């Protein structure tokens, strides 16, 4: 519910999830796992790493959030969604506990995932942090490896208004004696991670300083992926090299896992190419770092014109990202279908320096207008909110 309602739905406490899991016999203690946090890229890292393990023949659970089209996207085993029967059964099981514990939607979902992975006897689970880290409901597992992809400004009203404060919250997933991979070395945050890792006697590895296998580096460079996904893959490669001895993983498993991620894990909403002529892509970039990287990749496509479909939520600071938007693009401003959406007219007022701006009540109308105007050599991009992308995917 946080994604729909915002800060009012956030519970900064682990007591509920601990009580709920204790009541169902602590399923989080019955499977091996990797814990993945960070500001951007944690969902992609989760899906890619799952795909690598699947190529090695393992039964792999993934927990991610939020979902785009189907709630069951959050809980998967080898790419297949949790069954509707299992969802109903779990809710019926915990119904007597709801009045006493009063768990949130997210807490119920996390407990459901953990029980499902336990019951289905997964070999391994990759668990994505929801928000922050220290007080996130997923932070009751003891993984074999922890990963923090990067740190950027997002959810400042909850996690803090500086990179250092946000890093401290994200670093809360570092566990005693559990190795921690940091996806990106950042001047402001590296000392914090080193200090907390040292306090926990946890080995710390910075992915952008680690990979030694030149064949893997060349393989990743050959992929038709945006630079930020290549950064995520370096993190996955580092994780693979940390886990390969214990789990008998090979370079072939890594390469096939990367190549077959769509088939294995059905990753959606992250540089999801929907069409070629015109080139059409949807991406859940929504904070300053994500939008900056996304627009850099879009700008590399220098054939034709840009048609940017953009919408966001009310608690986002448009001033912090508006200067990143290219002046020569066609803009189709709209709003996601969630209560905390930023109204279209309010959003338009944040774009005073742009002249080629149109407004639409929903992404369906915006996309229809862009498609009618775009030539085959042009580019159409849908971004700005996970929920805007979800709305579009539901309409396809």
Domain that holds residue 154: 2-265
Beta bridge partners, 76, equal: 62, 81
Number of Cβ within a 10 Å radius of residue 345 = 10
One domain, residues 11 and 53:
yes
Dist CA 96 CA 323 (whole Å)? 52
Question: Kindly report the CA angle at 26 between 22 and 29, in degrees rounded to 5?
Answer: 145
Give tens-digit pLDDT for 95-125.
Answer: 999 999 999 999 999 999 999 999 999 999 9
Average pLDDT over residues 200-224: 89
State the CATH number of the domain containing residue 65: 3.40.1190.10
One domain, residues 198 and 315:
no
Residue 142 has pLDDT above 60, yes or no: yes
One domain, residues 242 and 315:
no
Tokens standing for residue 25: 């016999």
- Give the chain's count of helices (H) and strands (E): 17, 14
One domain, residues 11 and 106:
yes
Residue 6 has pLDDT above 50, yes or no: no
Give the DSSP per-residue string, 267-336.
Answer: --SSSEEEEETTEEEE----SHHHHHHHHHHHHT--SS-EEEEE--BTTS-THHHHTTS-TTSEEEE---
Average pLDDT over residues 281-310: 90
State the CATH number of the domain containing residue 388: 3.90.190.20
Give tens-digit pLDDT for 28-50.
Answer: 999 999 999 999 899 999 999 99
The gap between the terminal CA atoms of the chain, to the nearest Å, is: 24
pLDDT category at 160 given cuts 50, 70, 90 is: confident
One domain, residues 130 and 251:
yes
323 vs 25, more confident: 25
Residue 306 has pLDDT above 90, yes or no: yes
Which residue, of 217, 234, 265, is where some domain finishes?
265
One domain, residues 6 and 144:
yes
- Helix, strand or coil, per DSSP, at residue 77: strand
Q: What is the pLDDT of residue 270?
A: 87
Give tens-digit pLDDT for 316-368.
Answer: 888 888 888 998 899 999 999 999 899 999 999 988 778 899 999 999 999 99
Dist CA 32 CA 10 (whole Å)? 27
Which residue, of 239, 265, 291, is where some domain finishes?
265
Residue 258 has pLDDT above 50, yes or no: yes
Average pLDDT over residues 122-134: 95
Percentage with pLDDT > 90 across the chain: 76
Beta-carbon contacts of 237 under 8 Å, excluding residues fewer than 6 positions away, are 207, 211, 213, 216, 220, 254
Look up residue 194 and give its DSSP letter.
H
Average pLDDT over residues 219-232: 90
One domain, residues 309 and 256:
no
Q: What is the pLDDT of residue 121?
A: 98
Contact 287, 385 (CB under 8 A): no
One domain, residues 233 and 160:
yes
Q: Which of 272, 258, 277, 304 is nearest to 386 (CA)?
A: 272
Dist CA 137 CA 360 (whole Å)? 37
Average pLDDT over residues 211-218: 81
Q: What is the pLDDT of residue 10?
A: 54
Q: What is the pLDDT of residue 157?
A: 65
Q: What is the pLDDT of residue 314?
A: 87
Q: What is the mean pLDDT of the chain?
A: 92
Q: What is the pLDDT of residue 222?
A: 92
Contact 51, 142 (CB under 8 A): no
Contact 30, 143 (CB under 8 A): no
Residue 1 has pLDDT above 50, yes or no: no
Which residue, of 265, 281, 315, is where some domain finishes?
265
One domain, residues 179 and 321:
no
One domain, residues 221 and 77:
yes
Query: How many independent structural domains does the chain possess?
Result: 2
Q: What is the pLDDT of residue 12?
A: 65
One domain, residues 278 and 169:
no
One domain, residues 239 and 338:
no
Dist CA 60 CA 77 (whole Å)? 5
Average pLDDT over residues 24-30: 98
């Amino acid at each position: 519910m946080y994604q729909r309602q915002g800060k009012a739905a956030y519970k900064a406490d682990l007591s509920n999830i601990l009580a709920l899991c204790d009541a169902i016999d602590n399923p989080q203690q019955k499977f091996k796992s990797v814990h993945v946090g960070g500001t951007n890229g944690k969902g992609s890292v989760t899906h890619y790493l799952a795909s690598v393990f699947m190529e090695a023949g393992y039964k792999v659970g993934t927990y991610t959030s939020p979902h785009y089209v189907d709630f069951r996207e959050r809980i998967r085993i080898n790419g297949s969604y949790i069954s509707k029967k299992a969802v109903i059964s779990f809710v019926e099981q915990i119904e007597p506990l709801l009045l006493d514990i009063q768990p949130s939607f997210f807490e119920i979902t996390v407990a459901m995932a953990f029980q499902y992975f336990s019951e289905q006897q997964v070999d391994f689970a990759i668990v994505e942090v929801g928000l922050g880290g220290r007080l996130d409901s997923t932070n009751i597992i003891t993984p074999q490896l922890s990963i923090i992809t990067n740190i950027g400004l997002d959810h400042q009203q909850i996690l803090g208004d500086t990179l250092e404060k946000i890093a401290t919250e994200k670093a809360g997933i570092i566990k005693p004696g559990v190795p921690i991979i940091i996806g990106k070395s950042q001047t402001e945050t590296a000392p914090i991670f080193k200090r907390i890792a040292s306090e926990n006697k946890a080995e710390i590895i910075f992915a952008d300083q680690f990979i030694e296998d030149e064949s893997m580096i060349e393989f990743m460079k050959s992929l038709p992926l945006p630079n930020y996904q290549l950064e995520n893959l370096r993190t996955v490669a580092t994780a693979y090299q940390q886990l390969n001895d214990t789990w008998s993983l090979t370079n072939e498993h890594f390469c096939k896992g990367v190549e077959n991620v769509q088939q294995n894990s059905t990753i959606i909403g992250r540089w999801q190419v929907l069409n070629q002529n015109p080139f059409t892509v949807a991406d859940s970039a929504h904070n300053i770092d994500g939008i900056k990287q996304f627009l850099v990749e879009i700008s590399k496509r220098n054939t034709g014109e840009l048609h940017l479909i953009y919408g966001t939520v009310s608690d986002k600071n448009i001033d912090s990202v508006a200067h990143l938007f290219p002046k020569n693009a066609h803009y189709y401003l709209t709003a996601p279908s969630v209560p905390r959406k930023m109204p279209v007219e309010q959003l338009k007022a944040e774009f005073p320096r742009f002249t080629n701006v149109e407004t639409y009540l929903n992404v369906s109308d915006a996309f229809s207008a862009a498609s009618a105007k775009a030539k085959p050599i042009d580019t159409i991009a849908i971004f700005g909110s996970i929920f805007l992308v979800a709305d579009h995917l539901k309409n396809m």
